[in-house]
Copies of this chain bind each other. A is one copy, B any other.
Amino acid sequence: MTDQSPPRPAVRPRGYAKGAARRAQLLAVAVEVLGRVGYRSATMLQVAEAGGISRAGLLHHFPTKESLLEAVLADRDEADRRRSTAGKPGLAALAGLVEVMARNTTIPAVVNLFAVLSAEAGDPGHPAHAYFVARYARSRAGLEQSLTVVADQGLLRPGAEPAALAVELVALMDGLQVQWLLAPELVDMPGLLRARLESLLTVPLPSRTTTV
């Protein structure tokens, strides 16, 4: 899953599926614990206890807290990539962002973890600093590309500038998540993002039929 993972044998050993399931379960537990406690103050013992495993058992899967963090981030990226395989830049990709926000309302632990981590990572000494610098650069570049395609199709309102809008829309999504965590009943994340996107477009945003 990461570049650091050891090469897998061509024929997988018997225990492989079980080990992979265990690993996935531990990652889900780690997202919950790191999101609740914060990466910096979370301990491997807390994650192990929440996962019903010994600390040594956890260290077998993830030898350090950094490696656990890397695996959580790589897992999220992998999930994002799977969901956006249809992800040609353009109008449908913009609609996909609304779906990401809708899906996020069902996974508050993950939203919380990413909100805390991305803020903590503002410190250049944070182990996820480089990861988040690169992740945001990718997000902005992807959005700028979609907005440029839409502009070339004549679907973007005059005066809208793709590069600046990309920063603005990424910021809007981040900020909505912080407010939604504090007041979920007041903040309609997908609705507000859709409204902002449609205010930029000369056509309504399509509803994608793909599942999220």
Interface size class of A (residues with CB under 8 A): 35 or more
A3 at the interface (CB under 8 A from B): no
Residues of B within 8 A of A112 (CB): 119, 122-123
CA distance A136 to B7 in the complex (A): 48
**Contact (A119, B183) CB under 8 Å given A167-B192, A192-B168:** no
Inter-chain contacts of A118 with B (CB < 8 A): 119, 178, 182
Contact A182 B41 (CB under 8 A): no
Q: Tell me the number of copies of this protein.
A: 2
Q: Which residue of B lies closest to A130 (CB)?
A: B182
Contact B183 A136 (CB under 8 A): yes
Q: Which candidate, A22-30, A85-93, A145-153, A169-177, is the interface stretch facing chain B?
A: A169-177
Interface residues, chain A, CB within 8 Å of chain B?
A: 35-38, 40-41, 108, 111-112, 115-116, 118-123, 125, 129, 132-133, 136-137, 159, 164, 167-168, 170-176, 178-179, 181-183, 186-187, 192, 195-196, 199
Task: Taking A108-B122, A129-B182 as given, write out 15 further A-B residue pairs in contact, using a Cβ cutoff of 8 Å, ordered by the A residue number.
Answer: A38-B120, A41-B41, A112-B123, A119-B181, A133-B182, A133-B183, A136-B179, A136-B182, A137-B183, A168-B172, A170-B175, A171-B176, A174-B175, A174-B178, A175-B178
